Amino acid sequence: MRPDLSTSYLGLPLSGPLMASASPMTGRLDSLLALEAAGASAVVLPSLFEEEVLAEESQLAELMDAGEDFAEFSGSPLPELEQPDLGAGAHVNLVRRAKEQLRIPVIASLNATRPGSWQRYASQLADAGADALELNLYTMAADPSVGAADVELAHLAAIEAVKIAVDIPLAVKLSPYYSAMSKFAALAVDAGADGLVLFNRFYAPDLDLERLSLLARADLSEPDDQRIALRWLGILRGQLPEVGLACTSGVHSGSEIIKALLVGADVACTASAILRRGPEAVAVMLAEAERWMTAHEYTGVAQLRGSMSAASVEDSSAYERAQYQAVLHSGRYA
């Protein structure tokens, strides 16, 4: 008998354990449809970054001002055009269009910068029909006057505010850099998070040595990148048994899906594999996971999920210290 791949996340029933996380592939209708056809059980749309929205709107306003008061012009030389996809509109409309076309859940993603705007954009995305919302708690804490506690408080406040503003389930995509992950995860859940996504990937700048310019390059993940998520999923599963957990970063094959489920994730997410190999990678990865489960005689995802979490294994020290000393001394590093 084929194993039952269905799972649930944030209270949403999912047909399988692999979602497409936010990437350019989830920003277009044609690739969204292809992802659904390949078996993705949900899609997370590209994040609405408030900074980008503001920059785009301000730039357009400035450009439209040019030449406005010239004698021979009747207004700006750029035509006045209804632009429903301007700024936040592009995200809101993508949610709407995706909901019209897709049968699988559509999860919107949001990164705002100001207290009021979290709620405003969250409401817009929810009103457009998003099945759930993923808060992308991205803060580059480069301001020397802002401390760790300030950042965490702001994040928790954002979760609370959005929870009040919308009725749909709320996932929070975490950074791996919190000083006290378990505590913060618990506080996030208290503040209203229905699920946690581990972990956000941050793109670090690179340098072009010929042009002497900074590059903002989007590095794709590698399978090894999954391990830090595995640790925390394993730890949090037991601590937050009712909370939805999603594993993202480094999910490239059926193996990473299985690992994520074993440590306690409800679902695994992938972006890099899709960007590298196209939407059909989803079907391949699911088939690999299914083969593994068949070979290892698992009846379904429900059986697998959390079976090797910190709470479910005999010795959880591998999660908590990762045998740092032993690894170093053994020379077993990749």
Partner 1 sequence: MTGDNGPVTRWETLDGNEAAARVAHALSEVLAIYPITPSSAMGESADAWSAAGRPNLWGTVPDVVELQSEAGAAGALHGAVTKGTLGATFTASQGLLLMLPNMYKIAGELTPAVIHVAARTLATHALSIFGDHSDVMAARTTGWAMLCASSVQEAHDFALVAHAATLRTRVPFLHFFDGFRTSHEVNSVQVLAEADLRALVREEDVLAHRARGLTPDAPIIRGVAENPDTFFQAAEAANPFHDAVPAVVAEVLDELAARTGRRYGLVDYAGAPDAERVVVVMGSATGCLGETVDELVRRGEKVGLVTVRLFRPFPVEAFLAALPPTVRAIAVLDRIKEVGAPAEPLHADVLVALSRRPGPRVIGGRYGLSSKEFTPQMAKAVFDELAAAEPRPRFTVGIVDDVTHLSLTPDHAFRVPEDHLSAVFFGLGSDGTVGAAKNSVKIIGEQPDNFAQGYFVYDSRKSGAVTVSHLRFGRTPVRATYLVDRADFVAVHQFDLLRTMKTVDVARPGATLLLNSPHGEDTWDHLPVEVQAEIAEKRLRTWVIDAEAVAKAAGLGRRINTVMQPCFFYLSGVLPADEAVAAIKESVEKTYGRRGRTVVERNFAAVDAAIAALRPLPAALRPTSTEHRLPPLPEAAGDLVRRVTGAMLHGQGDLLPVSALPVDGAWPTGTAKWEKRGIAAELPVWDPSLCIDCGKCAVVCPHTAIRIKLADPVDLAGAPEGFLHKEYKDRAHPGRRLVVQVAPDDCTGCGICSDICPARSKSEHKHKSLDMAPARDHRDAERGNFAFFLGLPEADRTEVRADQVKGVAQLQPLFEFSLACSGCGETPYIKTLTQLFGDRMIIANATGCSSIFGGNLPTTPYTTNADGRGPAWSNSLFEDNAEFGLGMRIAQDLQSAEARRLLGVLRAQVGAELADALLAADQADEAGIAAQRERVARLKAVLAGHVATDDAARRLLSLADELVDKSVWIIGGDGWAYDIGYGGLDHVLGSGRNVNILVLDTEVYSNTGGQASKASPRGATAKFATAGKGTAKKDLGVLAQAYGDVYVAQLAIGANQQQAVRAMLEAQAWPGPSLLIAYSTCIAHGIDMATSMSHQAEAVASGYWPLYRFRPGGDGHPLHLDSRAPSMPVRDFMQSEARFAMLARANPTRAEELAQLAQADADERWHYYSQLAGMERGLPAPKEEP
- Residue numbers of the site for partner 1 (CB under 8 A)? 53-54, 56-90, 212
E strands, 7-65, where?
7-9, 12-14, 18-20, 43-44, 48-49
Task: Tokens for 250, please give them.
Answer: 């480094």
Identify which of 284, 217, 273 has the alpha carbon closest to the alpha carbon of residue 25: 273
Residue the block writes with tokens 């970054």: 49
Q: Which is nearer to partner 1, 62 or 210 (CB)?
A: 62
Round to whole Å and give the CA distance between 289 and 273: 15
Residues ≥6 apart with Cβ < 8 Å to 227: 250
Q: Which is nearer to partner 1, 180 or 214 (CB)?
A: 214
Q: Which is nearer to partner 1, 69 or 314 (CB)?
A: 69
Q: Which is nearer to partner 1, 7 or 26 (CB)?
A: 26
- State the DSSP string of 58-69: HHHHHHHHTTTT
Q: Least distance in Å: CB of 95 to partner 1? A: 14
- State the DSSP string of 128-178: TT-SEEEEE-------TT--HHHHHHHHHHHHHHHHHH--S-EEEEEPTT-
Q: Least distance in Å: CB of 309 to partner 1? A: 44
Q: Least distance in Å: CB of 125 to partner 1? A: 14
Q: Which is nearer to partner 1, 37 or 86 (CB)?
A: 86
Q: Least distance in Å: CB of 218 to partner 1? A: 15
Round to whole Å and give the CA distance between 62 and 78: 11
Q: Least distance in Å: CB of 55 to partner 1? A: 9
Q: Which is nearer to partner 1, 67 or 147 (CB)?
A: 67
Residue 264, sorted as left (phi over 0), alpha (psi -120 to 50) or beta, turns out to be left
Q: Least distance in Å: CB of 76 to partner 1? A: 8
Cα–Cα distances in angstroms (integers) from residue 233 to residues 119, 182, 198, in the given order = 28, 10, 7
